[in-house]
Chain A
Amino acid sequence: MKVLIIIPAYNEAGSIIDVIDNIDIFYPTADKLVINDSSTDNTKEVLKQKGVNFLDLPVNLGIGGGVQAGYLYAYENDFDIAVQMDGDGQHCAEELSKIIIPIENGTANVVIGSRFIDKKGFQSSAMRRIGINFLSGLVRICTGIRVRDVTSGFRAVDRKFIEIFSKDYAQDYPEPEAIVTVAKAKGKLVEVPVVMKERKTGKSSISITKSAYYMIKVALAILIQKIAG
């Protein structure tokens, strides 16, 4: 099966090549597509020099808009499986097969790599875990699906959801909302334990000041998706 690994990158010049190299080592059969979301550093030059497959967004769209461009590419180029993986190195290429296998053997439409099942590796801060647990509870109430790591951006989807996400994907902070989309489309979702690392370079896209906005926006989005039925 044709596998595409979508790697959204905003100012990740310091880490993106390591991410690509690790994929080449641990999952060499996959195609890679970096989404350069109008980085202001030299991410684009680094990608060009290395000869990596990349999309160059002319204006910054945010993670959701960027990843959706990747899904569009996967859809247009007939990929069977699309994987999302961060460009900052916090998701490990060693774990790729874990989230791809359930889709290859048809046991899931969508697989989410979760930090909180085996509770190994980087566990995020206590404050963030409270927020994640709250959103996880909200998703469970609204969809009946239990996902522990609702904000995880390490996920794999099959052809059906490549098509769905290429048409409908939230522009900012899309991860929890996408789970509701999966539930509405009656997709089979599986969460598998993975180990994540703390990011090495760059900054998280979610600062403390943005956290409140994040919680309110995502909670509302989940509720509205639920009401819109």
Chain B
Amino acid sequence: MSTSLRLVTIFFALLYFVVLVILLKNGRLALKYSLLWIFSGVLFWIAVAFPDLLVFVTSFIGIEVPTNGLFAISILFVILILMSLTVIVSEINIRIKTLVQKISLMEKRIRELEDILGTERKNIVK
């Protein structure tokens, strides 16, 4: 790996963690959803710090050019993160559905109570 390429990758690996930490600190990213991001970032760091390791691993799998190995691993992680996002969306969907159903049941009870109270409620509001 050439020196300039190493410098560029180190820069982006740093930037990646800075952005991650800022998002976590601001509370814009929940820690429980960021574990995959942190883990892939750590792997990225290891690859940058020990390029020989990357070369060894990729040639061990049977990939001739280390860069292709890097691409393959990156794509694997992107797919993993996308899948976890879909899982999260599905969970949120179920929660919203349950909330909407419960709200509608409660709204009905409130409506009925208001009908019974009728004028009294208007007096309270005044």
Shortest distance from the beta carbon of A218 to any chain B beta carbon, whole Å: 18
A69 surroundings in chain B (CB, below 8 A): 100-101, 104-105
Q: 1/0 per residue B76-97: CB within 8 Å of A?
A: 0000000000000000010011
User: How far does the alpha carbon of A59 sit from the alpha carbon of B93 in the complex, in Å?
Assistant: 12
- Asked whether A171 lies within 8 Å of B97 as measured between CB atoms, the reply is yes
User: How far does the alpha carbon of A59 sit from the alpha carbon of B103 in the complex, in Å?
Assistant: 10
Interface size on A, residues (CB 8 A): 16
Shortest distance from the beta carbon of A206 to any chain B beta carbon, whole Å: 20
B107 surroundings in chain A (CB, below 8 A): 55-56, 58
Kindly state whether residue A153 has any CB partner on chain B within 8 Å: no
Shortest distance from the beta carbon of A78 to any chain B beta carbon, whole Å: 14
A53 surroundings in chain B (CB, below 8 A): 108
Give residues in B with beta carbon < 8 Å to A. 93, 96-97, 100-105, 107-108
* Listed A/B pairs (9) with beta-carbon separation below 8 Å: A55-B105, A57-B100, A58-B100, A59-B100, A61-B100, A65-B97, A68-B101, A69-B100, A73-B108
Cβ-closest 6 pairs across A and B: A69-B101, A55-B104, A57-B104, A65-B97, A55-B108, A69-B104
Give residues in A with beta carbon < 8 Å to B. 35, 53-59, 61, 65, 68-69, 72-73, 76, 171
